[in-house]
Each structure stands twice: as structure tokens, then as C-alpha cells.
Amino acid sequence: MKLTILIGALILLSVSAFMGETQLDIQKILDPDAIEYLLFWDLRAPRVVVAFSSGAILALGGLVFQAVFRNSLTTPFTLGVSSGATLATAFGIIFLPASLVAFSSIFSFFGAFSTVLLLFLFARVLNTMQTGSLLLIGIALSFFYSAALMVLYYISDLQQSYSIIRFTMGSLNVVGFTHVYAVIAAAFLLLGVTLRYKHELRLILTSYDNAFLKGIEIKKINLILLFFVSISVGVSVSVVGPIGFVGLVIPHVIKLIYKQSSDKLILPVFFYGGVFLVLCDLIARNLGTVSEIPIGVVTSFVGGPFFIYLIGKRKNSNG
């Protein structure tokens, strides 16, 4: 089963850039003067790469969050990173001059980054670095950001409101690789950091007492992992917007398939998180609708029923 899934995933990644409403003449994608060249290298290929990188970040971030917080329902957005990025982007859309609205995605990154700084600042002021306390602070920040976003909706005009809504639904519409490089770098930075601390992560998951006895600085490791997950998610959100559900469903699906400890699931979760978002994007842009369905909607529609099916299947096998 694992081999079949892997082969299917590799085939999907290989053909996804060639599939779309506009058929491509494969022989012309290397001809700079052909329209197929522009369509493939400026639209299709960057889209597949940013989808894979963003999905990998969200899925691996979900695995790390669930391990650090020991809560199977936490995701990379739990600490308010997504809400902070969305609020900052809405602020940019409303208050930037029309000629500079395209740069509002930069606000998204700084919104995510400032949320991480605020989180740790509040934790230090309140003299607590416990993961449970950080989780509660993150939830409080999310509620505050949501309220502030409602205020911005209220003062925005029709066009601005539409732009904000489109951003919150997520979009993989990128042109060229200019913005894609940052997401690729963030994805592999997060992967490298997580692999670096996979031994410590396994010990922490086994037992805090056992990890402490083996000399593991639990608070330090948790904060490092949370910091890099939040920054990577911030970079992703700044380019493609907040895309939910990936960080929740993929770690659980991979655990059900591989049945191994979390430290051995880092690479599978990273890889299949990327594949899942590529699959959702392939569905979103091949439905024949007048306008493309937002990727965040597709991830929920595709992942939700499948996740429920797997949970039911596991319960039946255990029962």
C-alpha cells in the first residue's frame, strides 16, 4: 500500500504541471517564442512548486505543533500566526495607495513575524514558557486579530473587502518564480530544523521526565521548533494566503498509514503534505468553473470526508 501511494504521488507531481483547461503541446514548452513556454514556466510550474512547498510547510508544522503541545487538534495556525498575517494584509490592502497594494503580501509576513514576537514577549512578561500557556496566549491573540479584522471590514469599501476575502480563502496564483523561492527556502529550512531536533522530539514525546534525565532542554527545544514553524508558515501565508486543514489532516493520515513514531514521520509528512496541496490545486483549476475555486475551500472538501473515513476505518479495525 505504501509503495502504491508513493508511486501515485510521484506520478501526480510529474504530470500536474501539464494538466489544465488549456492543453499544452509538450514539444513547445522549451521554445521561448511559443505561448506554451510562457504558460508552463511562468504559470504552471511555479504554481506546482509553491503548492508543494506550502503544503509541506503546513503539514510538517502541524506534526510539530501536535507533538510539542501534545494535542492532536493543534495546527500551525493555533498560535495566531495566520490571523496576524491576515490582519496585516487587510491593513495593507486598505491603507496602502492603489499602486502599492500588490506589496500587501509583505505586510502578511511581518504580521506573522510580529505575532511570534508578541507571543514570546507576553510569555516572558507573564513569566511562563509552558506550551499550554503559549497555546492559550495564541488563542487570545487570534480572537483579538479576528475582532480587529472585523473593524477593517467595516471601514473598507467594496473592492477592498473583496480583496481581503479572496486573500483569506487562499490562492496559488503566482507568476514566475520570484515569490516562490522564499517559500521553497522556508520549507527546507523548517525540514532541516525539524530533522536536526528529531531525536530530542522523540524523547520529549516519550516522556518529559525521561527527556529531562537525558539532558534535553525541553523548553528551549519547544521554543525553537515553534519559532521556526511560525516563521515558515508566515512566509507561506504571505505568498499564498491562509490555507487551513492541511496541518490537521495530513499528520493524522500519515500516522494511520505508516504507524510509526513522530520522529520517523517527518519526511513522509513533509512530502505528502506537498502532494496533497498539489492534488487540491489540480482539482481547483480543472473543474471547468467560470472562476477558479479558492484552494482553501478545496482542501476542506477533499480532506474532510477522507479524514472522517480513515478515522472510521481505524475505529472499525480496533473494534
* Number of C-beta neighbours around residue 258 at 10 A: 14
Give residue for cell 510509526.
Answer: 260
Q: Does 168 reside within a domain? A: yes
CA-atom Rg of the chain in angstroms: 20
Give 3-state DSSP helix, strand, coil % of the chain, rounded to 5: 80, 0, 20
Contact 278, 12 (CB under 8 A): yes
Q: Does 1 reside within a domain? A: no
Q: pTM for this one?
A: 0.87
Q: Look up residue 18 and give its DSSP letter.
A: G
Q: Does 319 reside within a domain? A: no
- For 66-84, how does the pLDDT look when each residue is reduced to its tens digit (9 = 90+)? 888 777 777 877 778 888 8
The whole-number pLDDT of residue 54 equals 94
Joined grid coordinates for residue 279: 492534488
pLDDT tens, per residue, the chain with 319 residues: 678 888 888 898 988 888 877 777 777 887 777 888 888 888 889 999 999 999 999 999 999 988 887 777 778 777 788 888 888 888 888 888 766 666 666 787 788 888 888 887 887 777 765 667 777 888 888 899 999 999 998 898 888 888 888 888 888 888 888 888 989 999 999 999 999 999 888 887 777 777 777 778 877 888 888 888 888 888 888 888 888 889 888 998 898 888 887 788 999 999 999 999 999 998 888 776 666 788 888 888 877 777 677 667 666 655 5
Mean pLDDT of the chain: 83
Number of structural domains in the chain:
1
Q: Does 9 reside within a domain? A: no
DSSP string, 28-93: GTT-TTSHHHHIIIIIIHHHHHHHHHHHHHHHHHHHHHHHHHT-TT--TTTTSHHHHHHHHHHHHH
- For 9-53, how does the pLDDT look when each residue is reduced to its tens digit (9 = 90+)? 889 898 888 887 777 777 788 777 788 888 888 888 999 999 999
Q: Does 286 reside within a domain? A: yes
Please tell me the distance from the alpha carbon of residue 182 to that of residue 257, in angstroms, as a whole number. 31
Q: Does 63 reside within a domain? A: yes
Q: Does 151 reside within a domain? A: yes
Q: Does 4 reside within a domain? A: no
- Domain housing 57: 15-313
Q: Which of 110, 118, 68 is nearest to 86 (CA)?
A: 110
Residue type at position 291: S
